[in-house]
Amino acid sequence: MVTSAQETALGFIDSHRGDLSSWTRTIFDFGETAWREYRSAEWYVTLLRRHGFDVEAGSAGMPTAFCAHWSSQGSNRTGTNGRAPIIGMYAEYDAVPGNCQDAATVRRARPGLSEHAGGHTDPHSGLGISSLGGLLATKAAMERHGIPGTLRFTGEPAEKVRGSKPIHAAKGYYDGLDGMLSFHPFYMLPLCNTVRWDTHCGAAYSMIYRFVCDQPEKWGLGDGAPIPQSHSAVRAPGANDALMTMYMTSKALRDSMLPHQGGWSISEAILTAGQATADNLPAALAEIQYMIRVPTIAMAEQVTSVLDRNAEHAAAMTGCRVERHWVSKSRPGLANHAMAEVAWEALQVVGPPRWDDAAKAIGREIQVNAGAEALDEPFIDECERLVSPREAEAILRRDLPPSQVNSTSDDYTDMSWHAPTARIYVARPALKAPPGFAYPGWVMNALGGISETIDPMVVCASKTVALTALRLLEDEGARQNAKVEFIERTGGGIGGEKWIAPLCDYEPPIHFRWPEYVTTARGHDWWIPRGD
C-alpha cells in the first residue's frame, strides 16, 4: 500500500525529471577526483541551501565534504523514543583518473581534456543525484503532509579510496540516525535491482608509503661521508629505487598472502612528487599507495604487517627512511534485515528501470562503434528485472566459502555500525556482448553520462529512496524493528559487546599529491596535459 505522502513523493520526482537529468549531467561533466571535488561539493552545498537545508561545508575537516540538515515544522512531535525520527542519505561525487569520457556514443574525452582526466565510472554522478532526488522528494512530502522528522544528507568525497565515511563515522556524523539509506548503481549479477541481505561489503585499508632520501650522504660510504663531487661517483639509490623495491617485493602478496577467492584484492598506485630532473642525484621523495580490499579486519591487518616490513627493508636498502600515512581504514558491513525488507518493498512498488526506444537506439549505436553487433534489445535483460534479496544472497553465496561473512568493499559499511542501514542497488545500463567479446571501458562510462541511458536508473533510485525514507518516517513499527535488530547484532547498540568501533585514527589525507584539475596561463586542464 502506497501512502498519500509516498504518492506525493513519486509525483515530485516525475515532475522534476528534467532537473534530475540536467543535474546528473552537471556532476558527470565536472569529473572531479578524490579529495579534489571542489566544484561538485560547492554545487551540492549551494543547491541544498537553496532548498532550505542548513549545511556545514567542509565537515570533519574535509574541504569537499558537507553535512546538511532539514527538519519539518512538525518535528516537535515525538515518537516512543522521545524525539522525531532522523533519516540519513548521502551523495558521492568523486570520479576516477584516466577515465575521461564524453556523454557520446563514440570514444572521446570531454571537450578540452585528455582521456587521462577524471571521469565517472560507477557512476557517482548518478549515485549522488539519485539520493538527492529521493531526499528532495521526501522533504516535499513531509512538508505537504505534516510529517515530523529530520533529514540528514552528507556529502562523501573520495569514495574510490574509501575516504570520507570512516572519518565522518569517527566524528559522529552518523550517530543518532533511525535509518541510513545507501544507494549504489549496479550491473554485476545477481545484484542489479535488489537490496543487500546478509553478505555486505568487507573491510578496506588504504595507506601511502612515503620514501624520503633526505640524508644521501650516509649511504654507501658510512656515516659522515661527503656528498659525491663527481656525477660518476657512488650515490644513494634514493626514493625511486625504494619505491620500486617496495612495488616488486609486495607483488608476492597477490600470489602467496591470501587465497584467490572471496573477492579480495590488493592494488597500488604510484603517486608523483613533482620532481622534474634527470640529473645524477638521488630522488628525494617517492610515494606509493596501496588499497587492500578483504572480507575481515584481521586479514587487512595481516596484509598491512607484510607491507610494513617490505617498506622498512626497501628503505634500508636504498638509503631512505619510510613513513606510512593512512588514507582509509573502513570496517566490514553489518546487515539489517528489517531495513532491507523496507527498502525491498519500496523497490517492488517502483519496479525496475526501463529503457525506451531512444535509449535502445543509443545502445545499438555504441555497440557498433565499440566493434560489436547491434542488437534489437541491446541492454542486459537483468537490468530490467527485480531479484529478491534472499535470491540474490543465495546466488552470491555460491562462489563464497561458508565461513566468509563479507565480500568486496565499499565504505558505506562504516555507516552500518552507527545506524540501521539498507544497501539499495538499482541497475545502471549495461550492454549485451557476443561470446568472447569485452567492451572497452569508455562504453560503460559513456552510458553513465548520456541522459537517455542513465536517467531511468536515476528516476528509479530516487523513487525507491524516497519511498523507503517515508516508510521509516511514517511507520514507527518499521523503525523499531530496525532498531531492535541493530541492537541485537551489535550486542547492545553503539558501544555494545559486538560493536566494532571506528578504525579511523588519522587526519583526513587531503594534503597528498592527489590528481586534480589546474588553472594556469595556459587555461584549465588536467594535471597531465592533453598532448595535442
Question: Domain with 316 in it: what CATH number?
Answer: 3.30.70.360
How many residues are listed for the chain in this entry?
A: 532
Q: At 17, is the pLDDT very low, low, confident or very high (cuts 50, 70, 90)?
A: very high
Identify the CA nearest to 289 among candidates 207, 411, 405. Answer: 207
- Neighbouring CB atoms inside 10 A of 82's CB total 6
431 and 355 in a single domain? The answer is yes
> Would you say residue 506 lies in a domain?
no
Q: What is the reported pLDDT for 259? A: 61
Cis? peptide before 190, omega within 30° of 0: yes
123 and 208 in a single domain? The answer is no
DSSP category for residue 73: G
Q: Are 127 and 184 in contact (CB under 8 A)?
A: yes
Q: At 260, is the pLDDT very low, low, confident or very high (cuts 50, 70, 90)?
A: low
Among 138-147, 282-291, 407-416, where is mean pLDDT lowest? 282-291
325 and 364 in a single domain? The answer is no
In the listed set 313, 330, 347, which residue is the last one of a domain according to the structure?
330
What is the C-alpha to C-alpha distance for residues 147 and 151, in angstroms, rounded to an integer? 12
- Quote the cell numbers at residue 326: 593512512
C-alpha neighbours within 13 Å on the C-beta side of residue 132: 32
> Would you say residue 39 lies in a domain?
yes
Q: What is the reported pLDDT for 238? A: 87
Domain that holds residue 290: 204-330
In the listed set 287, 308, 330, which residue is the last one of a domain according to the structure?
330
Kindly provide the b/e burial profile for residues 129-139, where b requires at least 16 CB atoms within 10 angstroms of the residue's own CB: bbbbbbbbbbb
Q: What is the reported pLDDT for 201? A: 94
Task: Evaluate if pTM is beyond 0.85.
Answer: yes
> Would you say residue 342 lies in a domain?
yes
Q: Which 3 state secondary structure label does DSSP give 520?
A: strand
353 and 287 in a single domain? The answer is no
> Would you say residue 502 lies in a domain?
no
Report which of residues 273 and 67 the model is more confident about. Answer: 67
> What's the CATH number where 174 sits?
3.40.630.10
- Quote the cell numbers at residue 210: 612515503
Q: Are 340 and 468 in contact (CB under 8 A)?
A: no
Work out the average pLDDT over 262-278. 72
Q: Supply the angle between the helices 451-474 and 357-369 in degrees, to the nearest 10.
A: 130
317 and 343 in a single domain? The answer is no
> Would you say residue 81 lies in a domain?
yes
pLDDT tens, residue by residue, 410-448: 999 999 999 999 999 999 999 999 999 999 999 999 999
63 and 74 in a single domain? The answer is yes
* Interacting residues of 15 by C-beta distance below 8 A, sequence separation 6+: none
324 and 336 in a single domain? The answer is no
> Would you say residue 165 lies in a domain?
yes
In the listed set 310, 330, 350, which residue is the last one of a domain according to the structure?
330
- Quote the cell numbers at residue 84: 522525531
Identify the CA nearest to 166 among candidates 333, 32, 407. Answer: 333
In this predicted structure, the answer to whether residue 2 has a pLDDT above a threshold of 60 is yes
- Quote the cell numbers at residue 127: 549515485
312 and 389 in a single domain? The answer is no
Identify the CA nearest to 101 among candidates 378, 454, 357, 437. Answer: 454
269 and 143 in a single domain? The answer is no
Among 13-22, 272-281, 298-307, where is mean pLDDT lowest? 272-281
Q: At 523, is the pLDDT very low, low, confident or very high (cuts 50, 70, 90)?
A: confident
How does strand 86-92 pair with strand 150-156?
Answer: parallel
**Looking at this protein, which amino acid is placed at residue 255?**
D
284 and 348 in a single domain? The answer is no
391 and 440 in a single domain? The answer is yes
Q: Supply the angle between the helices 17-30 and 38-50 in degrees, to the nearest 10.
A: 150
pLDDT tens, residue by residue, 95-117: 999 999 999 999 999 998 989 99
Q: What is the reported pLDDT for 10? A: 98
Identify the CA nearest to 159 among candidates 409, 340, 425. Answer: 409
Report which of residues 452 and 231 the model is more confident about. Answer: 452
Q: Are 445 and 431 in contact (CB under 8 A)?
A: no
> Would you say residue 525 lies in a domain?
no
Q: Are 190 and 200 in contact (CB under 8 A)?
A: no
211 and 296 in a single domain? The answer is yes
Structural domains counted in the chain? 2
Sign of CA dihedral 192, 197, 199, 202: positive
Order of strands across the sheet that contains 150-156: 54-57, 66-71, 150-156, 86-92, 179-186, 421-427, 194-195
Q: What is the reported pLDDT for 80? A: 47
> Would you say residue 92 lies in a domain?
yes
Phi-psi region of 312 (alpha: psi -120 to 50; beta: other; left: phi over 0): alpha
